[in-house]
A and B are shown apart, each in its own frame.
Chain A
Amino acid sequence: MSRLGTTSAPWDAVIVGGGHNGLVCAALLAKAGKKVLVLERRERVGGATLTEEHYPGFRYTVASYVVSLLRPWLWRELDLARHGLQLIPLETSFSPYPDGRSLCRGPDPIATREEIGAFSRRDAEIYPTFGKSMGRLARFVKRFVDQTAPDPTSFRPRDLAQLVGHGRAFRELPDDEEALLTRLLTASATDFLRETFEADELIAPMSCSGIIGTCLGVSSPGTAYVLLHHYMGEIDGASRAWGLARGGNGAVADAIASSAQASGVTIRTSAAVDKILVERERAVGVVLVDGEEIRARTVVSGCEPRLTMLRMVGRDHLPSDYTAGLERYKNRGSSGKVNLSLDFLPEFTCRPGDGHLRGDIAIAPSTAYLEQAFAEAKAGRWSRRPYLNVVIPSLLDRTMAPPGKHVMSIFVQYAPYHLADGPSSWPQHRDAFRDDVLDTLQEYCPRLRDAILHAQVLSPWDLEQELGLTEGNIFHGELTLDQILFQRPVAGWARYKTPVRDLWMCASGTHPGGGVMGAPGGLCAREMLAAGAL
């Protein structure tokens, strides 16, 4: 099997990093009969899809915390249900307001209409129609997500055919939807939503899906597009595609790892890769931090692009335009995470009980609030009153905490990586950051602090140090229009290839990006197999 100029390698592919995408890629390559080794730096697989116990009996879904867009074709092809992956749908979206009112959107359309009707009768009636047209448009986006991105600068028949296909799909949209899609791709989340809705109490929480993971505000152009991701899950198969993995998001990685191992993949944990070995402009293997050298016919990185190319490969092996592209690549982490172990369930003053808490809870009371939160980020501070996306996994998945106890996952935005006094100052600000988050939530949940048994605080700095997320960006790079499709991570290199032969990239820094989709890993494996790379 050895090719000219390379030594015979025991592995067809060595995957750097056992996050969900690395594992997906490994599993699909192994299913095609390849010998695959996955190397994970930490003592367990998962990367940013990780469940850990930091306080006895309480399990945190440490970083990523919902499963929404995990590609159904991977689910089926890797038989993830048999390997233990079980999705528990999030039932509701709940938003409390400082004036004591609240809004709960849920699976019952009539109840949802009544809830929205308390704020705007017009919005209440139009809400289902909006969902319907977004669902139709989401089909268009799905075409892109489930295929390698075509390169519009290329004249290769495959790119052209793909582009023509997408073009035709666009042209076949009814005129009104074509216009809607165009606005979606260019407008801000709030502008786009204001075209349909009038109640700020509804617009504010809905607009937040447009900013998650990016350092933009809800009125920044281009943020509307990500709204579609919310609806894409729904057309992937029945309703309620947003959910929790039973056992936390670590269960996603565990199921994929189990499937990968069943297909013959070897997984080594506590095996940190230091360098990707490049000889005669080809990747030929990796060197671990302890000096061990592992050779392979191909190397696939499941890590973030800058970490992979600039740190593990090194500039010496890269063309300067590629390096420049990577340096321009925006990571700009903008969010943090607080995970809590709770002795009891703290109730919301505005609505006691827990029926409305079995989903996500958005602290996004107004668009002005969100704008103010963003303004602070631009000034290099975390938001004193941030946007919070709260989930209480133990309400739906009782395995996450002891009986009667709870865990709470709080996604916090904005927590900019680049603080005014530098990213490395984050550790000294961590407690103050946590206090602001808790203060924010406590305004709605007065007994919150009484319930806390343990808190884990992850600033973007921690996400970088702990999980290798460069600048703490949860998507391995912002999902903005200039960084998606054929431009992810660098224009011309969106097909999972890199300028180093036999080195591929398979994680969220490649098309179609982050969100626990598994799509980059899956599409990378497809490309590698189609190219006869190994």
Chain B
Amino acid sequence: MSRPTPFHPRTTAANRGWAYKEWAGFVAPCSYDRHSEREYVAFRHTVGVIDVSPLYKLDVRGPDAAALVARCWSRDATQMEPGRVVYATLSDDDGYLLDDGTITMLARDHVRVTSSEPWWAWMHDYARGLDVTLTDVSHLAALAIQGPLAADALAPLLDFDLTKMRFFRARRAKLAGRPVWITRTGYTGDLGYEVFCEPEHALALWDAIFEAGAPHGIEPCGLDALDVVRIEAGFVLQGVDYVTARLAPSPKRKSTAYEAGLGWTVELDRAPFVGQRAIRDEVRRGPAWATVGLDLSWEGLEALYARYDLPPHLAPIASRASVPVYDNGKKQIGQVTSSTWSPLLKRYIAIAQVQAKFATLGTQVQVEHTVDYERGVVGAVVAPRPFFDPPRKKAQPTLRSAP
């Protein structure tokens, strides 16, 4: 049975669509209406709020906290200043990807790791000889406040000047008088923040944020809208665009960080860490696969549908179905793992894993597309990721003038 998150009374009260799914054992709304348009618009044009409490959260404390995180994760946490956040990957000894998440230096002796799977035991096994304690703090309530007006909604509630907070920074703060950790992070590729608090403050925070956000068009958002914006942002999703090596049904389904397009998170030349040797070997010989953005040809889609005397029809939500990708000689060279129509870009975009030699920008490929139960192909071109990368994501936000 799925459990409610600390925000459940509010998310349920706001929900008019009754579409939920399971996320890490919790009930998570897919959308708040019978469609997710309004939520998509909120993420991209005003403020969207999504309950991310189901994320696994692990606190690592003690003098060797950073050393343990650096030993397990792809980043050299020992070099991080307090208040910094980094995006990181976790690999096994063979260099295969287990998970991705964030590492936040709350203090020199206090590191918080968020992830999509639980890694308490895994990290515990690598903690021998280190002076650390590992505490699962997944009970913490977490709320992502994302969108171009996110700062407008939060700033008046905070006890510090939010506009001065830089991208991928964290700090302790009072939000509506309640103790929180706030980070300038998110999964939308836009301006946004995440707030972590003890569950007893959750409902009061929700209420305060929605009241402050009302003049800025704040909306509660579900996973369907998030899926569209994260594809626009080019973010891969564990379990969809790659599979954690521990649960991969076959060796073929395992990916390395480089193959999953996350090689940039790997700080290789430093003290030993799990998977370092294997990753080094991989870098030397070159990854076999690559994760790329694909831009599907709209004209190609129209032509394919026209063969069936139909106008193009695309699902209103993102697809996580894996679909074969072919070279122009009809040989399968990989698969699309996520795809969506981007209302913002007016393009049909996809994230795909392909053989490394097909990863060059501009490479022409073919993607399977089914019309009227029949499989056809549509031309696509390897395109830069992120598909959408607004300057406001990293810029200092300017607040809207008060009335």
Contact = CB atoms under 8 A, between A and B. Distances in A.
Q: Do A and B come from one complex?
A: yes
Interface of A: 57, 72-73, 75-76, 81, 86-89, 91, 107-108, 110-111, 135-136, 138-139, 172, 235-240, 246, 358, 395-399, 402-405
A402 B401 contact: yes
Interface string B237-270: 0000000000000000000000000000000000
A176 B345 CA distance: 36
Nearest to A343: B403
Given A57-B401, A403-B403, A398 B343 contact: no
20 contacts: A57-B401, A72-B346, A76-B346, A81-B345, A81-B388, A88-B41, A107-B35, A108-B33, A136-B311, A235-B311, A235-B312, A236-B346, A237-B298, A237-B346, A396-B45, A396-B217, A402-B401, A403-B400, A403-B403, A404-B215
Contacts of B57: none
Contacts of B348: 237
B328 to A, nearest CB: 21
Contacts of B110: none
A76 B45 contact: no
Contacts of B38: 91, 358
B3 interface: no
Given A235-B312, A402-B402, A91 B45 contact: no
Contacts of B299: 73
B interface majority secondary structure: loop
A57 B298 CA distance: 39
A110 B35 CA distance: 11
Nearest 7 Cβ contacts at the A-B interface: A403-B215, A235-B311, A404-B215, A238-B341, A402-B403, A81-B345, A108-B34
With a 10 A CB-CB cut-off, give which of A76, A236, A240, A398 has the most chain B CB atoms. Answer: A398
B37 interface: yes
Contacts of A235: 311-312
A81 B311 contact: no
A466 B309 CA distance: 46
Contact of A89 (B152, B343, B400, B403): B343
B149 interface: yes
A86 B344 contact: yes
Nearest to B17: A108
Contacts of A87: 343-344, 346
Nearest to B33: A108
Interface range, B side = 35 or more
Contacts of A110: 34
Contacts of B152: 403
B312 to A, nearest CB: 7
A396 B316 contact: no
B108 interface: no
Nearest to A137: B311
Interface in B15-29: none
B204 interface: no
Nearest to A236: B346
B374 to A, nearest CB: 19
Given A89-B37, A139-B306, A397-B45, 17 more contacts: A72-B298, A73-B298, A81-B344, A81-B346, A87-B346, A88-B41, A88-B45, A107-B35, A108-B34, A238-B316, A240-B343, A246-B45, A398-B149, A398-B217, A398-B400, A402-B400, A403-B400
A267 B217 CA distance: 36
Contact of A138 (B44, B309, B311, B316): B311
B341 A237 contact: yes
B276 to A, nearest CB: 38
B221 to A, nearest CB: 15
Given A235-B311, A396-B41, A76 B217 contact: no
Contacts of B395: none
B216 interface: yes
Contact of B37 (A57, A240, A395, A398): A240
Interface in B282-330: 298-299, 306, 309-312, 314, 316
A404 B217 CA distance: 9
A86 B401 contact: no
A286 to B, nearest CB: 34
Nearest to A173: B309
B343 to A, nearest CB: 6
Given A72-B346, A398-B149, A86 B37 contact: no
A91 B343 contact: no
Contacts of A395: 217
B124 interface: no
B314 A238 contact: yes
Interface string B316-360: 100000000000000000000000010111111000000000000
A237 B312 contact: yes
Given A81-B388, A397-B45, A91 B37 contact: yes
Contacts of B347: 76
Contacts of A405: 403
Contacts of A73: 298-299
Nearest to B314: A238
A522 to B, nearest CB: 15
B403 A86 contact: no
A111 B34 contact: yes
B5 interface: no
Nearest to B214: A404
Given A88-B41, A395-B217, A398-B149, A135 B343 contact: no
Contacts of A398: 45-46, 149, 215-217, 400
A239 B315 CA distance: 9
B298 A76 contact: yes
A516 to B, nearest CB: 14
A72 B297 CA distance: 12
A425 to B, nearest CB: 39
Interface in B51-75: none
Contact of B311 (A57, A91, A135): A135
A39 B73 CA distance: 57
Nearest to B388: A81
B35 A108 contact: yes
Contacts of A86: 44-45, 344
Contacts of B310: 136
Contacts of B401: 57, 402
Contacts of B33: 107-108
Nearest to B341: A238
A246 B148 CA distance: 11
A57 B215 CA distance: 14
Contacts of B298: 72-73, 76, 237
A75 B215 CA distance: 31
A138 B311 CA distance: 9
A110 B34 CA distance: 9
B400 A75 contact: no
A404 B403 CA distance: 7
B212 to A, nearest CB: 10
